[in-house]
Structure 1
Amino acid sequence: MKKRVIATTLVAAMLIGTAFSASGCSSEGSSDGKTHITMLQYKPEAVKAFEKMEAEFNATHDDIVLKIESPNDAMTVLKTRLIKEDAPDIIGIGGDVNYSNFLDAQILMDISDFEGLSLIKQAYLDIDKNLEFVPMDGVYAVPYVANAAGVLYNREMFKKNKWEVPTTWQEFMDLCDEIKASGQQPLYFGYKDVWTCLAPWNALACDLAPADVCRQVNKGETKFIDEYPEVAEKMLELLDHAQDDPFAYNYNDACTAFANGESAMYCIGSYAVPQIQSVNPDMDIDSFVMPGCDNADDNVLNSGVDLQFCVTNQCKNKEAAYEVLEFMLEDSTIQTYLDDQNAVPCKDTEFELSPTLDGMVDYINEGKMVDYQDHYYPAEMSVDAQIQTFLLDGDVEKFLNKFDTDWIRYNRDIIRKVQEYEEKGGNE
């Protein structure tokens, strides 16, 4: 969910209309006699890790040269190159509606025959499959790392005050009351940056709404006003335990406040930990799954694919691209990324995880997780801004009625495709 950039309708339409030529970026006939594979990845904050990966790959492979590009505005660069039929061989993107649009535009290669897919946790393969607007044959991405969102907490503060980690919504609210009664601040938010409103929203929606609610709405089987009321109401309850005027503070403010011990908890994802620790490197942080349900067994981890690798249809040497993917899936390569980015591995192997994920490890190992619901929301809806407006005025019905109206407006083409697919019998 982290500050994602989503394809606009115009760009998606341009991509859908693009017919690709054989002008891909890999070069088998280069002057050095080697195959050159280009990867463009969208996480500039991980550039050092990727530089290390690139150097190690090139030092250990004689016949392939890997070049990894990490531009600051990667999605804009990528979309421009796709339109110009100058696609990289491999792209590293998130599992969100960008990926859905690329699938719909048929620019990604079916990599069902890539043996490394058998190493990936099924939960993350399923998350990717659910991002298809309509079910497609084949596999088009290798989930690499995920993040996890719920509640970060100050472990030292909890130990000092003998507070227990909550496992139900009532326990969570009681804990907030207890912290407030002790003269300390339970929660801190940075709602001036509207995207941060999505962190608790996604985590609560994982617990309280169907995982495939967006698909159900597209099929005409339900409406958001019927599925999201409890999510909205509990978002308002969280505000009762926030600092004064959470809309006056941004993401950096919230991270800094939490790092300085100004609140016991922070409703955000694991991706915030590096920012927090840049302020306080010695802070003892742990996390727990958002306890949105009345029954602890019904809670699930909010985890989505933060980075995955796709081979584009313009790639001229699939075997060389697969060799790069095999290298990326080596345990030591993955660990390099985990150490740098505090991420969750999608590979079904034991890794050394950050202690900030201790409270979520069981959910990760069991695959008890659900994707971020905002990964299905179109950018044009500006759902994060809608949530911020709702939190300011507190009108649940008004908010969800607009949500339903805007969903139809901005998803009209997708809804038509989904319903045409269903009318033809779906996957029967």
Structure 2
Amino acid sequence: MLTKPISRRSLLGLSAAGAASLMLGGCSETRSDGKTEVEFVSYKREAVSIFEALMAEFNESNDHIYLNFTSPNDAVTIMKTRFVREDYPDVVAIGGDASYADFVDSNILADMTEYPGMAQVQQAYQDIMKSVTYVPMDGIYGVPYIANAAGMLYNKDMFAEKGWDIPETWDEFIALCEEIKAEGEVLPLYLGFLDTWTILSPWNSILVDLVPQDHIRKVNAGEAKFADYYREPAEKLYQLLQYGEEGPFAYSYEDACTAFARGQSAMFPCGSFAVPQILSANPDMNVGLFAMPAADDPEDRLVVSGVDLCWNMTVANEDHRELVYEVIDFLNEPDNLQTYCDDQKAIPCIEGDFTLDPLFDDIQEFLDAGKVIDYPDHSYPSGMACDARLQAFLMDGDVDAFLENWDSLWQRYNKTVIRKVQEAAQE
């Protein structure tokens, strides 16, 4: 699931409290049955049934560890509250996003580079974990488990029936949209931009084709401005409005999923995380995903793929490192990981002979070649409400004002990170 990043500023108070208390004991304790309890807290509420089943299987077969795996509502907020109270789970299971960067920056997560199973983690996802932190880090502070991908979802049966080819360039994509629009039977796209976070999905997919991967680092380092990079992506994002539903800001993410599932549009600019919702409205739908063709050269296409779930051990519980590793080994067993991927339409971060859902057939070559980049918005400060800024731009269409405003607000809301990046560069 694509989630809104949580600002590091909300964790600044944790840095001092965390540094003073991390040497205190964590949550692990010996139970009356002689087993040591190891607690995992996960933000993946939609996968609670899978992890409950895996927890039961682990506890039945293991004679010295009791796994307590919970997935509460609003899990990240609960994690932060527990950190303030010096009540640290052994492992927090979150995405490789701004929350991960916040926790690393607050000295809460332990370096897991030496976890033996890290050798089986695909290098592309190890690199993504390193790129998410605000300043370069020597280690990896979590074990990537599964990933998702974003681009353009499409109705495979409709494409086959109409004889439409998957576009590989922006011109081909616009030509296809014009053809579908001219036929008038269905919409080229459904957008659902009432929920502002949904705008981030096509925005991310367009960005990675058109801007340098390190553009945010350059801005934070004072070497560039977003105005140097974001004009073309903004213009192409705005162009999508011509091919979606009338009044897209009145329709929600759920509305878009349902409309797409019912065949009201040929495409939906979103990600694999939306497919379970789509299939709940139409279990028989044949959904595909292709790379956003935002570039003029097909070779410049990339797939946005972020670490959707990783295992992050807290520093407070490093004395249970071997027990935590044993649990992660179990969760990473191929059969268990395959079960998760089948149910959640996910991509394994672990190398192995896994069967991906046919959803990913059209981006398999990108995954195999490591042509994947993390969601750029994972580095956006939440206080700036970047998704709302994008929605406001789409409502008025003033690219110049959008670029000027974005750069100005970035300096205001990201000043702490900017200072850290520039201090690190000087060092």
Bin the TM-score by the shorter chain. over 0.9
Aligned counterpart for 2:389 among listed residues 386, 391, 398: 386
**In 2: Cα distance, 1:203 partner to 1:384 partner:** 14
**In 2: Cα distance, 1:311 partner to 1:365 partner:** 29
**In 2: Cα distance, 1:132 partner to 1:194 partner:** 25
2:261 counterpart letter in structure 1: A
Say which SS state the counterpart of residue 149 (structure 1) adopts: coil
Residue 305 of structure 1 corresponds to 307
Residue 344 of structure 1 corresponds to 347
Query: Residue 100 of structure 1 contacts residue 133 of structure 1 at CA under 8 Å; is this kept in 2?
Result: yes
Say which SS state the counterpart of residue 314 (structure 1) adopts: helix
Is the aligned partner of 1:404 residue 2:407? yes
Instruction: Give 1:142 shift.
Output: 0.5
Residue 245 of structure 2 corresponds to 243
Residue 325 of structure 1 corresponds to 328
Residue 70 of structure 2 corresponds to 69
Once superposed, which parts of structure 1, at least 4 consecutive aligned residues long, lie more than 6 Å away? Answer: none
Query: Residue 166 of structure 1 contacts residue 291 of structure 1 at CA under 8 Å; is this kept in 2?
Result: yes
Residue 377 of structure 2 corresponds to 374
Residue 162 of structure 1 corresponds to 163
Is the aligned partner of 1:225 residue 2:237? no
Residue 36 of structure 2 corresponds to 35
Say which SS state the counterpart of residue 25 (structure 1) adopts: coil
Residue 353 of structure 1 corresponds to 356
User: Alpha-carbon deviations, 1:47-95, whole Å to 9, x = none?
Assistant: 0111111111112211111010100110110000011111100110011
Instruction: Give 1:303 shift.
Output: 0.6
**In 2: Cα distance, 1:57 partner to 1:4 partner:** 32
Say which SS state the counterpart of residue 317 (structure 1) adopts: helix
1:404 counterpart letter in structure 2: D
Say which SS state the counterpart of residue 402 (structure 1) adopts: helix
2:31 counterpart letter in structure 1: S
**In 1: Cα distance, 2:368 partner to 2:88 partner:** 36
Residue 267 of structure 2 corresponds to 265
Residue 2 of structure 1 corresponds to 2
**In 1: Cα distance, 2:215 partner to 2:424 partner:** 17
1:331 counterpart letter in structure 2: P
Say which SS state the counterpart of residue 25 (structure 2) adopts: coil
2:130 counterpart letter in structure 1: K
Query: Residue 338 of structure 2 contacts residue 354 of structure 2 at CA under 8 Å; is this kept in 1?
Result: yes
User: Alpha-carbon deviations, 1:371-395, whole Å to 9, x = none?
Assistant: 1010000110100000000000001
Higher mean C-alpha deviation, range 212-221 or range 73-82: 212-221
User: Alpha-carbon deviations, 1:341-383, whole Å to 9, x = none?
Assistant: 1111111123111111111111112111011010000110100
Instruction: Give 1:137 shift.
Output: 2.3
Query: Residue 23 of structure 1 contacts residue 85 of structure 1 at CA under 8 Å; is this kept in 2?
Result: no
Alignment of 1:72-151 (within 5 A): 72-151=73-152
Residue 188 of structure 1 corresponds to 190
Instruction: Give 1:8 shift.
Output: 5.4
Query: Residue 4 of structure 2 contacts residue 382 of structure 2 at CA under 8 Å; is this kept in 1?
Result: no
Is the aligned partner of 1:362 residue 2:365? yes
Q: What are the ranges of 5 or more consecutive residues in structure 2 without an aligned counterpart?
A: none
2:177 counterpart letter in structure 1: C
Query: Residue 149 of structure 2 contacts residue 305 of structure 2 at CA under 8 Å; is this kept in 1?
Result: yes
**In 2: Cα distance, 1:4 partner to 1:385 partner:** 11
Residue 291 of structure 1 corresponds to 293
User: Alpha-carbon deviations, 1:318-348, whole Å to 9, x = none?
Assistant: 1100101111111011112111211111111
Instruction: Give 1:35 shift.
Output: 1.2
**In 1: Cα distance, 2:339 partner to 2:83 partner:** 29
2:196 counterpart letter in structure 1: V
Instruction: Give 1:228 shift.
Output: 0.8
Say which SS state the counterpart of residue 166 (structure 1) adopts: coil
Instruction: Give 1:190 shift.
Output: 0.5
**In 1: Cα distance, 2:122 partner to 2:3 partner:** 25
**In 1: Cα distance, 2:414 partner to 2:5 partner:** 17
**In 1: Cα distance, 2:80 partner to 2:108 partner:** 11
Residue 15 of structure 1 corresponds to 14
Query: Residue 95 of structure 1 contacts residue 128 of structure 1 at CA under 8 Å; is this kept in 2?
Result: yes
Say which SS state the counterpart of residue 289 (structure 2) adopts: strand
**In 1: Cα distance, 2:412 partner to 2:31 partner:** 49
Query: Residue 96 of structure 1 contacts residue 131 of structure 1 at CA under 8 Å; is this kept in 2?
Result: yes
Residue 45 of structure 2 corresponds to 44
Say which SS state the counterpart of residue 36 (structure 1) adopts: strand
Say which SS state the counterpart of residue 92 (structure 1) adopts: strand
Instruction: Give 1:5 shift.
Output: 5.0
Query: Residue 302 of structure 1 contacts residue 372 of structure 1 at CA under 8 Å; is this kept in 2?
Result: yes
Query: Residue 135 of structure 2 contacts residue 421 of structure 2 at CA under 8 Å; is this kept in 1?
Result: yes
Query: Residue 8 of structure 1 contacts residue 380 of structure 1 at CA under 8 Å; is this kept in 2?
Result: no
Instruction: Give 1:23 shift.
Output: 2.5
Say which SS state the counterpart of residue 40 (structure 2) adopts: strand
**In 2: Cα distance, 1:61 partner to 1:365 partner:** 35
**In 2: Cα distance, 1:155 partner to 1:70 partner:** 34
Instruction: Give 1:279 shift.
Output: 0.4
Query: Residue 8 of structure 2 contacts residue 102 of structure 2 at CA under 8 Å; is this kept in 1?
Result: no
Q: What are the ranges of 5 or more consecutive residues in structure 1 without an aligned counterpart?
A: none
Aligned counterpart for 1:422 among listed residues 412, 422, 425: 425
Instruction: Give 1:237 shift.
Output: 1.1
Say which SS state the counterpart of residue 287 (structure 1) adopts: strand
Say which SS state the counterpart of residue 422 (structure 2) adopts: helix
1:232 counterpart letter in structure 2: A
**In 2: Cα distance, 1:143 partner to 1:7 partner:** 21
Higher mean C-alpha deviation, range 246-255 or range 127-136: 127-136
Query: Residue 34 of structure 1 contacts residue 63 of structure 1 at CA under 8 Å; is this kept in 2?
Result: yes
User: Alpha-carbon deviations, 1:23-42, whole Å to 9, x = none?
Assistant: 20111x33221111000000
2:109 counterpart letter in structure 1: L
